[in-house]
Amino acid sequence: MNEDLLSWEALAPSRRLFLAHLAGDPAARSLLGRGADDAAAAAAVEERRAIPLPHRADLARALGGYLSGLKAPPPSMLAVAKLAEAGTVAVVGGQQPAVCGGPLLAFAKAAGVVALARRLERTGAGPVVPIWWVASEDHDLAEAGAVWIDGLRRGKDLLPADFAERRMLSLVRAPSMEDIFPDGVDLSPGGGARVLFERPAEASLGTATAKLFSALFGAEGLIVVEPHVLRGFARPLFERDVREPGALAALVREGNAAVRAAGFDPVLADPGGALHFSVDDEGRRSRGGGREEDLDFLGTRLSGDVSLRVLAQDLALPPAVQVCGPTELEYLAAHGPVREGAGVFRPAALPRTGVTILERRVEEALEEFGVGLDELYREGAGVLDLPVAGGGDALAAEAGRLKAALNEAVGDRAERTSAVRSRIQRVEKALEDLEAASHRAAAEVRGLGESRRRKVLDALLPDGVPQERRWSIVPFLRRHGTGLIDRLFRALSGPEPGHRIVRPEV
């Protein structure tokens, strides 16, 4: 398998703070507190290890119990045992749950979490475990269904129709195996991939996603967890937000002001009141409204917004490093004041690895269009609308010649009457349409017309966004087998920041 590395500038040109952080810009670094490489991660490990974690034994028991319910592989349980020992710290990453585990970027991020923990231990940083946070208290059902399963089906086709009900994804039933795989056959040519997606019939989206990531990366020692398992360890944060609604929000606003003062645009909207949500008996979330008695039922009655969720994660766990996507890293930049005010450690923020699985048939089509993947990602679908080199035919050429001859014969249009000018415009438009239609017809004959263009865009820019943000891993396992998982893991394990192009057939 061969791979290339694209810069993040091509994939996330609008994420100025993220790119500045990678480039070592002092203003960005001052907001995030540390650098963006393995050396910064190692320094954060040393600093985090010096901070006691009083509930470490209880944390290990909670994680062990949850993983036992997932039937996690033994290396995951060994990682929990390691976490129970004083001095062990974590590399964390996470994503909200989604159909089939979500888009490829989630798998790439999880692979990066595992790889970074391994690199830190190999270079003498001491005991470090990888932890994957399945953000199942999120209620964005539309995002959970945005993943593409195959050329015809999307995750949303397999989910409840009411995307506005604000029910936590931990309480939304995941699609059944029969819904996802109606043909009833194994996913891959070599067999064995179907077992990755097996789960209890009544599993929620959160549990189904957690089980999949445990099956994929548990053998590498990844600890998978959902928020309700750890929320009790973050009680001090919820107590403050319930008893002093708005106090933590004011610190987040202060962080946003610091982001603006540094010359960047905040990702987070300025919060007004509480950072917590109240959860009703049906699992629906509404902002604020938490009561004192709810604090004794944190696992079911309260949850956090994006800021409180991250703070709770970092108070419950001993994270030294968080592996982040571009937008995720930018909202962490606003959390300096609230972390200081709440007494929560600030991990190093390292960029996740991006990934595109570039299959031979798609790459060959790109080459025939004369477009590189970096150009497609940077410029968008419009680059495939350009005239094809050598395209057209004699009719298209003649239409173009006639248009040029007409323009020359017309001369100064201001001297023509309005009736003549109007007819000239109609003739020119007809010749342009004829030329374009002839080009399209010739391109179709050569296999580079609209149908092939659409196949390339569906493969690489589905819904107009990079492949990693829409396609699930399912169709790639169907075509390339379960061996693709190990090969992807190796390809995504390097320390260089950027977006990897992985060619599965090479």
pLDDT the model gives residue 388: 45
Six-digit token pair at 169?
A: 């994804």
Q: What angle in degrees, to the nearest 10, is found between the helix axes of 38-49 and 104-122?
A: 70
Are 264 and 197 in contact by the 8 Å Cβ rule? The answer is no
Are 355 and 499 in contact by the 8 Å Cβ rule? The answer is yes
Distances 150 to 290, 366, 405, 471 between C-alpha atoms, Å: 42, 21, 50, 8
Looking at the chain, how many residues does it have?
506
* pLDDT, tens digit, 9 for 90 and up, residues 185-223: 455 455 556 667 778 878 999 999 999 999 999 999 999
C-alpha to C-alpha distance for 39 and 495, rounded to whole angstroms: 11
pLDDT the model gives residue 1: 43
DSSP string, 478-500: HHH-THHHHHHHHHT--S--SEE
Per-residue pLDDT of the chain (506 residues; tens, 9 = 90+): 456 899 999 899 999 999 999 999 999 999 999 999 999 999 999 999 999 999 999 999 999 999 999 999 999 999 999 999 999 999 999 999 999 999 999 999 999 999 999 999 999 998 999 999 999 999 999 999 999 998 888 999 999 877 778 899 999 999 988 888 777 645 545 555 666 777 887 899 999 999 999 999 999 999 999 999 999 999 999 999 999 999 999 999 999 999 999 999 999 999 999 999 999 998 999 999 999 999 999 888 999 999 999 999 999 999 999 999 999 999 999 999 999 999 999 999 999 999 999 999 999 999 988 899 999 999 999 888 754 444 456 787 787 788 888 888 878 888 888 888 888 888 888 887 777 777 656 655 555 567 888 999 999 999 999 999 999 998 898 888 888 888 899 999 988 889 999 999 87
C-alpha to C-alpha distance for 344 and 316, rounded to whole angstroms: 10
Helix/strand/coil (H/E/C) assignment for every residue in 255-305? HHHHHHHCCCCCCCCCCCCCCEEEECCCCEEEEECCCHHHHHHHHHHEEEC
Cα-Cα-Cα-Cα torsion 466, 469, 474, 477, nearest 10 degrees, comes to 50
pTM for this structure? 0.86
SS3 367: helix
pLDDT the model gives residue 389: 43
Which among 261, 249, 219, 365 is positioned nearest to 28, based on CA atoms? Answer: 261
Look-up of token digits 């094809």: 388
pLDDT the model gives residue 190: 54
C-alpha to C-alpha distance for 414 and 420, rounded to whole angstroms: 10
C-alpha to C-alpha distance for 421 and 406, rounded to whole angstroms: 12
The Cβ-side half-sphere exposure at 495, using a 13 Å CA radius, reads 13
Are 473 and 104 in contact by the 8 Å Cβ rule? The answer is yes
In degrees and rounded to multiples of 5, residue 94 shows phi and psi of -170, 170
pLDDT the model gives residue 183: 73
In degrees and rounded to multiples of 5, residue 357 shows phi and psi of -90, 110
Look-up of token digits 């342009």: 432
C-alpha to C-alpha distance for 96 and 92, rounded to whole angstroms: 14
